[in-house]
Amino acid sequence: MLHGNGVSRRGFLYGSAVAAGSLMLAACSGGDSTGGNGGSDKAAGGKAGSGQTPKGSVTKPLPPPKKFSEAPMLAEQVKAGKLPSVDKRLPSSPYVIPHRWAEPGNYGGQLQMVIDASNSGAIKEYSYGHSLLRFLNDGLDIGPGLVESWESNADASDWTFHFRKGLKWSDGQPWTTADIMYWWKDMVLNTEHPEVPPDDVRSGRNTVATLTAPDDYTLRMKFDAPAPITPERLAAWVNRGIGPQWMAPKHVLMKYHPTYNKKIKGKDWYVKHDLHLDWQINPGSPVMTGWYTKTYDEGRSVVLERNPYYWVVDKEGKQLPYVDQVRFTVVKDPQVQKLQMSNGRYDYVHGGHTSLVLGDISGLKQAEKRTGVQVSFWDSGSGTGSICFLNYDYPDDKMREVIRKPEFRQALSHAINRPDARKAIYFDTGEVTTGTLSPKGQMFTINDEAKQKYTEWRDAYVKYDPEKAKSMLDKLGLVDKNGDGKRELPDGSKLQISLDYPADASAEHVQKNNHLKRDWEAVGVKTVINPVPPEAFGDRWGRGELMTTTAWEVGDCSPLIYPGWVIPVETGHWAPLHGQAFVMQTGDPKKMKEQENLSPWKRTPPWMLAEKGDPIDRLWKLYAQARVEPDNMKRIQIMWEIQKIHIDDGPFFYGIVANYPRIVLTRKGLHNVPKRENLALGGWVNPWILPSPAVYDPELYFWDKPEDHKV
């Protein structure tokens, strides 16, 4: 199975009434949001000047140009003898950006952006340079990255990766597989270091692979069982940022590691070591991304500057990035951010990393002529919009018994007036949904049957039918026994749903919770709004203490990469104690044995195993089956079986709308920021697994007049 040429993974204008007026929203809900052929090299991709809209990316790697050029600021350093020539800074075979919409650009200028914290992980979402492989065409395809070619044996249990020769860190030092093996041996496998093996290196049996590096440019991963989704895992996230580290600059970090520096003492040596690992907060720290951190002013700003050794070029051989610097100004208050955006302070705003909502569009549109900052839209790819899920492992016995009844959760779904919420919160964009994984992924796009499977899940309990909801609640014995207008539990005790959310949640989630409270109380279920201190929310949820999570959304559609939404494998989703048990089964089975006679909520940490034949037990078994299935179509069919459990025994989470648009702000004169129509599936902003905008390579963005945007 050779994969050197990539692995296939296969504007509308409308108006809506708004409170005191109307809003014309040029958005992106037109066309087929659940499929497309933008990922095919045979598709009508179009080229600039051809009369067609350039769409998607070429999947076959482009040959390196014969000549290379560089930014003037680097050429000056070469002339002064401070840098080697560009051909000596690039690998022997640079990565050539394959996007059809990209045009050759100008060098120079600074990009002004905004962020809510100087240490925000979102800053790293703009650079894909640390990734071994890369998603293309909104995740439909996988192409090379640092890895130039790769292959596996027949059952996908033995993988070999061939890296580009001549790669260099941003400080000019060679990058080799030794930097991967340092991460692996001296961090992951080091019992004193807290880093653990990521899913990338786990087989379908959840055992850890053996990693070896025969030479500086070859890495081998050997599993004890098939690991067929290894390429997808290696293309996911932005490594050394949101996802696994996967590499570390050994030449810098070894001086802080006791294995290499005998002066390092104490068991907490890794604290200082890892501070030097975080390139975002350490100016000059070596990276493989297009920009490195030039200055870090905590709480005020982060300035990134061009990496002179970036290993990526455009089709003409121009070394990227085009822009000299990117400045992130820290503005914590969302309302202040929005005010500054409407005053045109920022050149580029990627809506997925701000609190912008569709209700902000009117003001931004009105400011376009004055500021020169234009509003456009990409698809969110969301499967839910603002979400709500009940805690399947809630500690109160009587309430948990009710929550676990599918008919109760189905009744609540039918009680939600989604069309009304869609109009009020999402301005009639997107499509009403019971709540699913994203409609963008291969699971729902690979063929017509896949599209039908998506529709079945989307529509399962989406109908607004309060009378049906009341009837279903009555049959469960949830009736008003004391005449106060609100239903009680079968034994007469209080039935109450608490809509829990971090107190700093955006207006989108708060507004949706108000709709849920109104709709559920309309069918007799007492519902209270419960803001929780943000710093406490995650821990309290993981311990099973809270009843609901209501300030999140599903953006993913890759259950074998990020299974949590549909399979309880960690504590963040709808069955937190089951998720903890899944982790501990391989991570700490001895502790489970010691605590098996304790109440699940008295265990440390709280955990609970699935009962034989129950929905979670069946989900776990299907997940295990899918992870070792080498055939892609058979894996997808197993995913559909998982979906069936979510329909028959669910819903386990509620959505409002799917695939509503996301706002993108771009100053006039900034080029190569793709439009929705340029992207294979119209964009896929929300998941961090498919890192956005990194997958669209912001290193390509350029100014038509760089002199007007001087550093």
Do you know the residue count of the chain? Answer: 711
Q: Which residue has the higher pLDDT, 234 or 688?
A: 234
- pLDDT confidence of residue 41: 46
Nearest Cα neighbor of 372 from 102, 663, 665, 109 is 665
How far out from the chain centre does Cα 39 lie? 20
Q: Looking at residues 393-417, what average pLDDT do you find? A: 98
For the stretch 543-572, pLDDT in tens is 999 999 999 999 999 999 999 999 999 999
- pLDDT confidence of residue 50: 57
Residue 634 pLDDT exceeds 60 = yes
For the stretch 137-190, pLDDT in tens is 999 999 999 999 999 999 999 999 999 999 999 999 999 999 999 999 999 999
Nearest Cα neighbor of 607 from 574, 586, 582, 587 is 582
d(Cα 7, Cα 147) in Å, to the nearest integer? 13
Residue 311 pLDDT exceeds 70 = yes
- pLDDT confidence of residue 51: 67
Residue 45 pLDDT exceeds 70 = no
Nearest Cα neighbor of 440 from 555, 564, 565, 561 is 555
Judged by average pLDDT, the poorest of 46-55, 366-375, 446-455 is 46-55
Residue with tokens 């998506």: 454
- Kindly state the percentage of the chain with pLDDT values over 70: 93
What band does 205 get if pLDDT is binned at 50, 70 and 90? confident
- Kindly state the percentage of the chain with pLDDT values over 90: 89
- pLDDT confidence of residue 352: 87
d(Cα 527, Cα 372) in Å, to the nearest integer? 45
Task: Find out whether 689 and 558 touch, Cβ atoms under 8 Å.
Answer: yes
- pLDDT confidence of residue 206: 84
Nearest Cα neighbor of 84 from 174, 146, 163, 145 is 174
d(Cα 588, Cα 612) in Å, to the nearest integer? 21
Q: Looking at residues 612-630, what average pLDDT do you find? A: 96
Structure tokens at 40: 């095919």
Q: How far apart are the first and last CA of the chain?
A: 48
- pLDDT confidence of residue 204: 82
For the stretch 643-670, pLDDT in tens is 999 999 999 999 999 999 999 999 999 9
- pLDDT confidence of residue 31: 36
d(Cα 558, Cα 440) in Å, to the nearest integer? 10
d(Cα 267, Cα 97) in Å, to the nearest integer? 44
SS (H, E, C) 565-577: CCCCCCCCCCCHH
Q: Look at the alpha carbons of 89, 91, 93, 96 in this order and tell me if their dihedral is positive or negative.
A: negative
Residue with tokens 């930097």: 179
Task: Find out whether 41 and 60 touch, Cβ atoms under 8 Å.
Answer: yes
Nearest Cα neighbor of 130 from 614, 694, 603, 693 is 694
Average pLDDT, the chain: 92
DSSP string, 514-548: HHHHHHHHHTT-EEEEEEE-HHHHHHHHHTT--SE
Widest pairwise Cα distance in the chain: 87
Q: Looking at residues 613-642, what average pLDDT do you find? A: 96
- pLDDT confidence of residue 355: 85
| Side-chain half-sphere CA neighbours of 230 within 13 A | 29
For the stretch 494-509, pLDDT in tens is 999 999 999 999 899 9
Classify residue 13 as exposed, middle or buried by CB count within 10 Å of its CB (0-12, 13-18, 19+).
exposed
Per DSSP, 67 falls in state S
- pLDDT confidence of residue 10: 33
Q: Looking at residues 683-696, what average pLDDT do you find? A: 93
Task: Find out whether 355 and 334 touch, Cβ atoms under 8 Å.
Answer: yes
Residue 203 pLDDT exceeds 50 = yes
For the stretch 240-259, pLDDT in tens is 988 899 999 999 999 999 99
Residue 48 pLDDT exceeds 90 = no
In 331-449, beta strands by DSSP E: 348-350, 373-379, 389-390, 431-432
- pLDDT confidence of residue 2: 40
* Alpha-carbon distances, residue 13 vs 376, 439, 574 (angstroms): 12, 22, 37
Q: Looking at residues 72-91, what average pLDDT do you find? A: 98
What band does 587 get if pLDDT is binned at 50, 70 and 90? confident
Q: Looking at residues 576-584, what average pLDDT do you find? A: 96
Task: Find out whether 387 and 655 touch, Cβ atoms under 8 Å.
Answer: yes
For the stretch 266-310, pLDDT in tens is 999 999 999 999 999 999 999 999 999 999 999 999 999 999 999
